[in-house]
Structure formats: structure tokens, C-alpha cells
Amino acid sequence: MPALILDGTRIAQEIRGEVAAEVKTMAAAGVRPGLAVVLVGHNPASEIYVRGKVKACQALGIYSETLTPPASVSTEELLALVAKLNARSEIAGILVQLPLPPRVDTRRVLIAVEPEKDVDGFHPCNVGRLVAGMPGPRACTPAGILELLKRYQIPIAGRRAVVVGRSDIVGKPVALLLLHEHATVTICHSKTPDLPAVCREADILVAAIGRAAMLTADYLKPGATVIDVGMNRVDNRQEAARIFRDAPEKLASFDQRGSVLVGDVEPRAVEEIASAYTPVPGGVGPLTIAMLMVNTVASAERRAGLC
């Protein structure tokens, strides 16, 4: 029986439909959610991400604005900008697009965002709420992963979950979310001895290490559910051929674009061994923006006393 493909694009569309309906309900009560995005300088990847977020807001009826200070901006200037956004009642959510220039103290800027407006879920107060199992905005990618598992009715309680990667953005929060759903969770990283053996114990394997096709067949338990968070661009044709086992369609795509996107898990291995898996692209990625919209609307509801 072929592995089930966990279609993040479809689930994201479902979530966006629910958000759009909620925005309409709020509009009837005279409330419109507002999201402010701070985009510093001219990072091409960041600009693409921000355009996607703004486009999603427009499609769902959420007010949005993008503030674009120059790359020369100082930490103090960014802190002043965040303070102004904190004070604006029509702004329910503030998102500071990362990475910031090296001269900027990123941690100070992120902590300056009011916890109630922290729709990324990165503020220490919201991380604390996650640890304690209290309501609050959750980091968007981990929250999207949980939605994907639940909407595909993949059991979590009592399962062994292994998370490869310990970042504050994905690894740690997704481990906590899985723990709150009663999984037995192991977090792995570069110092984990015999990483393949630990990964082979996973009923649910979350790969968030940021290395193209690092997790091969030797890391996978037959029948596991594999969530591949990685989004790695491979621009070496020989490497792409090795990863995709000379698959004609992938090599044709490489020849057309000059690169190909690869997750953290070897794609052919996961297709052959897993019972369910997220494709790259089209798996976890679309859910991140969808959950950002969820967080923004929830923040607006809380501020308006609608929940």
C-alpha cells in the first residue's frame, strides 16, 4: 500500500476558509484584525515570505501593513518602531521578519513586542505559556504540524515521537506540542549519539535539521509518519541526481530551474518506508502562513473581548 501524502496545501486551504469565515463574523461586530510586518533591508527570501503573508491577509479580509526600515537601522530605532506598533489599537499582531541585520540585537527587538501581539509565538511569555499548557499564540510552523496530524487523524497519544533539531522556532515548540498531546518525545541534535538508531524508534519523526536529505532509509522505522520541515535548495545536478535516484521528472525540473527543493529526509526512502509523509514542497510550508492568520485573528478576538 503506497504511503499517504500529507497534503499541507489542502489543509492550509481548509484553515484559511475557517479564518475567512471568522473574519466575516468579526466584521459584523465591527472588528477587523490588523497585522503589521516589519521588514528590514532587502533580503530577497524575506521579501518573498512577506509578500506571501500580505497576500494571505488580503485574501482573508485582514488589514495589513508592511514597514520597511533600511538595513542601516539601529536596534534603538527598531525598538521605537515596535513601541509605536504596540500602542496602536488597530494592530492585533506584530511580526518582525527574520533575519535582522547583524548589528541589530534581535532578541531585544523580539522581546519588545507585546506578548499579546506576538503572532509568531516567539516571546518568552508565550513560550512559557506553551510549556505550561496555557492558552496563547503558538509558533506557526509547529502549530501547523499539529493541525496536519490531527486533520489526517494520525494518532499522537501513546506514540513515540522523535524531533531532529532543537531550534526555538520549530524543534523545541513542536516537541512541547507533541508532549501535550501525550506522545513520548525525544529531541535529537548534533550531539546525539547514534542518531539513526534513535530515529528508527519514532512512530512520528519530525525532521527540522536544515540539511538536504540528511535522514536516509537507515533513519526510518517502517510505517512511521514523517514530517519533513526542511526546505533546502540543491543547485548541484550531480547531488540532485543522487538524492532523487536519477528520477527523470526531478532532473528535468532541475535543468529548467537550475536547482531543486529538497527536504531533510531522503525523498525516495520516505516514499518507500513511511506510512505517511509530508512532501517538499507542499507539506509543512503552506501551513506556516495559515497559522499566522489564525494567530492574528485570535489576537484580535482577545483584544476585542470576543473570546
Q: Can you say how many angstroms the Cα of residue 248 is from the centroid of all Cα atoms in its chain?
A: 30
Q: Which of 7, 13, 24, 53 is catalytic?
A: 53
In Å, what is the CA distance from 26 to each residue of 23, 199, 226, 237? 5, 44, 37, 50
Catalytic residue among 97, 203, 228, 264: 97
- Give the active site residue among 117, 118, 120, 172: 120
Distance CA 148, CA 99 (A): 27
* 7 a catalytic residue: no
Catalytic-residue membership of 97: yes
Grid cell of 294 as nine digits: 489564525
Beta partners for residue 262, in sequence order: 232
Q: Are strands 260-262 and 232-234 parallel, antiparallel or unpaired?
A: antiparallel
Does residue 235 carry a catalytic annotation? no
Active site residues: 53, 97, 120
